[in-house]
């Protein structure tokens, strides 16, 4: 029996229409699947980014969203975000705040991304198999890195979406 991760394939309405192995979904942008992101900010408003392991099949060695991962079969989004925070950063007991959802498409995959936000200062025990390094970045540092092959394309879209969210939710 294969231990390969299986994921739900969804339609444009977010309804599950099938299940397939990760290896089939990654590499086929016609198969939409769900992921969660958690933007982790510190008290200064700096955003935690993770440098993806060089062994990753997607964006190896690039800086990426604080937390990101696939939604498990039958798993709800908030549970998935909490699980991913614990798996990737060793952070438990936080209640991420829902922000927005969007579709991320590239030549490799298509994801329905649901983004949450959480404030957390540290004591991170990150997964050294998946992540080479983590650090907080100021928004200026992130903006200077945009388009320079330093950040993942997924994170660049996430960051621009987050900036739009902040602008539309400022009173």
Q: Which two tokens stand for residue 168?
A: 């539309």
Domains and CATH numbers, the chain: 6-168 (3.90.79.10)
Residues 6+ apart with CB under 8 A from 23: 4
pLDDT in tens, the chain (171 residues): 458 889 999 998 889 999 999 999 988 999 999 999 999 999 999 999 999 999 987 889 999 999 999 999 999 999 999 999 999 999 988 889 999 999 999 888 899 999 999 999 878 999 898 899 999 999 999 999 999 999 999 999 999 999 999 999 875
Q: Does the pTM of the predicted model rise above 0.85?
A: yes
Q: What's the angle, vertex CA 147, arms to CA 142 and CA 152, rounded to 5? A: 70
Q: Smallest Cα–Cα separation from 164: which of 97, 115, 110, 111? A: 115
Residues 6+ apart with CB under 8 A from 129: 53, 55
Asked if 104 and 157 touch (Cβ cutoff 8 Å), the reply is yes
Q: Which two tokens stand for residue 100?
A: 């927005």
Q: What is the 3-state secondary structure (H, E, C) of 45-89?
A: CCEEEEEECCCCCCCCCCEECCEEEECCCCCCHHHHHHHHHHHHH
Asked if 82 and 4 touch (Cβ cutoff 8 Å), the reply is no
Exposure of 34 in the CB half-sphere (CA atoms within 13 A):
26
């Amino acid at each position: 029996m294969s231990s390969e991760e299986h994921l739900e394939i969804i339609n444009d309405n977010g309804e599950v229409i099938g299940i397939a192995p990760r290896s089939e979904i990654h590499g086929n942008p016609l198969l939409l699947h769900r992921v969660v992101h958690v933007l982790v900010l510190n008290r200064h408003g700096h955003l935690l980014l993770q440098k993806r392991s060089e062994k990753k099949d997607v964006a190896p060695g690039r800086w990426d969203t604080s937390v990101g991962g696939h939604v498990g079969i039958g798993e709800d989004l908030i549970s998935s975000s909490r699980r991913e925070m614990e798996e990737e950063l060793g952070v438990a007991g936080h209640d991420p705040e829902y922000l927005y959802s969007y579709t991320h498409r590239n030549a490799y995959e298509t994801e329905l991304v649901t983004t949450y936000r959480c404030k957390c200062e540290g004591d991170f025990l990150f997964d050294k198999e998946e992540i080479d390094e983590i650090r907080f970045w100021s928004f200026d540092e992130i903006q200077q890195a945009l388009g320079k092959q330093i950040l993942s394309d997924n994170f660049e879209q996430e960051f621009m979406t987050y900036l739009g969210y902040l602008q539309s939710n400022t009173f």
